[in-house]
A and B are shown apart, each in its own frame.
Chain A
Amino acid sequence: DAKTTQPPSMDCAEGRAANLPCNHSTISGNEYVYWYRQIHSQGPQYIIHGLKNNETNEMASLIITEDRKSSTLILPHATLRDTAVYYCIVLSAGTASKLTFGTGTRLQVTL
């Protein structure tokens, strides 16, 4: 599976959009980009995933560049409850259980 690179930490004001970047320059054609987050003292939470088209759900939007070498997770209106560590993972089709976390991005949402 391709490796990913994320900034270690980011801050975001409450109510503003949080844009979390991820680089995955070695991604191959059948690999998906997944995003999970883990709030302190809770289990990981699935957010969104995509292959090459942009995706949106009730939690977030995922923007994948045309060359698929990077992506951005967008939380459109961040709240204090979005403070968490966000993990970008690249996985081949059908291997969602092969989840492994790197260091992720620690997002701090502030008043």
Chain B
Amino acid sequence: ETGVTQTPRHLVMGMTNKKSLKCEQHLGHNAMYWYKQSAKKPLELMFVYSLEERVENNSVPSRFSPECPNSSHLFLHLHTLQPEDSALYLCASSRDKGSPLHFGNGTRLTVT
């Protein structure tokens, strides 16, 4: 139990589907993150939220849309994805932006 819970663990979606990934942290942290992990790139930072405000967006395509309704929840809304978007999507949280990260176990996404 990492204190960061991601659902679903696995997701298969077609390129025309719309789906959402959910992340919940029970650690009282103020910052939350989305990362992408694939064989080509071991770890890529996608989005950073600090106190529910998006503070970083690393040139992520608009087909990925994050949402942070409160400090404990983070979503990643997906639409019209491409097969190359298949990867492990990891959510993480930290006490603040400079503190070590606590990761969830990820959502394994396959786009067909």
Q: How many A-B residue pairs have CB under 8 A?
A: 53
Q: Does B19 contact A (CB under 8 A)?
A: no
Separation of A34 and B90 alpha carbons in the complex (Å): 19
Give the residues in chain A near B56, CB-CB below 8 Å: 97
Q: Does A76 contact B (CB under 8 A)?
A: no
Shortest CB-to-CB span from B60 to chain A, Å, is: 14
Q: Does B71 contact A (CB under 8 A)?
A: no
Most buried by B among A46, A96, A98, A103: A96
Q: Does A111 contact B (CB under 8 A)?
A: no
Contact with A along B80-99 (1 / 0, CB 8 A): 00000000001010100111
| A45→B98 contact, CB < 8 A | no
Contact with A along B38-62 (1 / 0, CB 8 A): 0000110100100000001000000
Give the residues in chain A near B2, CB-CB below 8 Å: 43, 45
Contact with B along A29-71 (1 / 0, CB 8 A): 0000010000001111110010000000000000000000000
| B42→A96 contact, CB < 8 A | no
Smallest Cβ-Cβ distance to B43: which chain A residue: A101
Separation of A95 and B96 alpha carbons in the complex (Å): 10
| A99→B105 contact, CB < 8 A | no
Per a CB cutoff under 8 Å, which of A41, A46, A95 touches B102? A46
Give the residues in chain B near A98, CB-CB below 8 Å: 45
Give the residues in chain A near B35, CB-CB below 8 Å: 99
Per a CB cutoff under 8 Å, which of B45, B92, B98 touches A93? B98
Q: List 7 A-B contacts (CB under 8 A).
A: A34-B100, A41-B105, A42-B106, A43-B90, A46-B101, A97-B56, A102-B42
Question: A: which residues have CB within 8 A of B?
Answer: 34, 41-46, 49, 93-103
